[in-house]
Amino acid sequence: MTVRTLIIGGARSGKSAHAERLAISSGKKVVYIATARAGDEEMQQRIAHHRQRRSIDWFTVEEPLALGDAIERHAAADSVILVDCLTVWLANLLFFEQRDFPEVGVIDASACFSRQRAGLLQVLEHAAGDVLLVTNEVGQGVIPQGAVSRWFVDESGRLNQDVAAVCDRATLIVAGLPVSLKG
């Protein structure tokens, strides 16, 4: 039986470590899909930290934009896919055009964003094998100032809701502790 699991939590909540433990305990071949790009030194350090924790037996795919395609390409009944993370992927999609954003007003997403987001949700509904999706909960804080920040928070919340709807399980990680939300 295929199980899709959303693992959501705040920054440094332990969500990635929890997802990694689930992948290991599955006993299946693990395909790790990394969405981050090493654009600066701080992100390089974060990526290095995640690489150190991964098993050398895991197959790693680096895919910053075409996440649905990567899942579809690598999903198999005898494997578990671990995506880390949807929030970074979303930022990649929202900001890949490197355009100037207004401080106030409505921001329209690119056609690429809409296409990739829809593709991910479609693939998740029919993916072969188990899928673990790590994401950040960014909407529990103060409403950010500035249109682009609010846009990012809003789109993160919408994505998390839509992914949770197609997942069989959802787990909130707080202080390293899993709290079952669904399944």
- Phi and psi angles of residue 43, each rounded to the nearest 5 degrees, phi first: -70, -35
Q: How many residues belong to the chain?
A: 183
**CA-CA distance, 117 to 81, in Å (whole number)?**
18
Structural domains of the chain in order of their starting residue, each with its CATH number:
4-182 (3.40.50.300)
- Choose among 131, 127, 97: nearest CA to 114: 97
Catalytic residue positions?
50
More confident: 144 or 65: 65
CA angle (24, 43, 35) in 5-degree steps: 50
pLDDT surpasses 90 at 51: no
- pTM assigned to the model: 0.92
Q: Give the model confidence (pLDDT) of 136-180 as tens digits.
A: 999 887 788 888 889 999 999 999 999 999 999 999 999 999 999
Mean pLDDT, rounded, of the chain: 91
The pLDDT of residue 103: 78
Quick check: bond before 112 cis, omega within 30? no
Edge-first strand order for the sheet with 29-34 is: 59-62, 29-34, 79-84, 130-136, 4-9, 169-174, 177-182
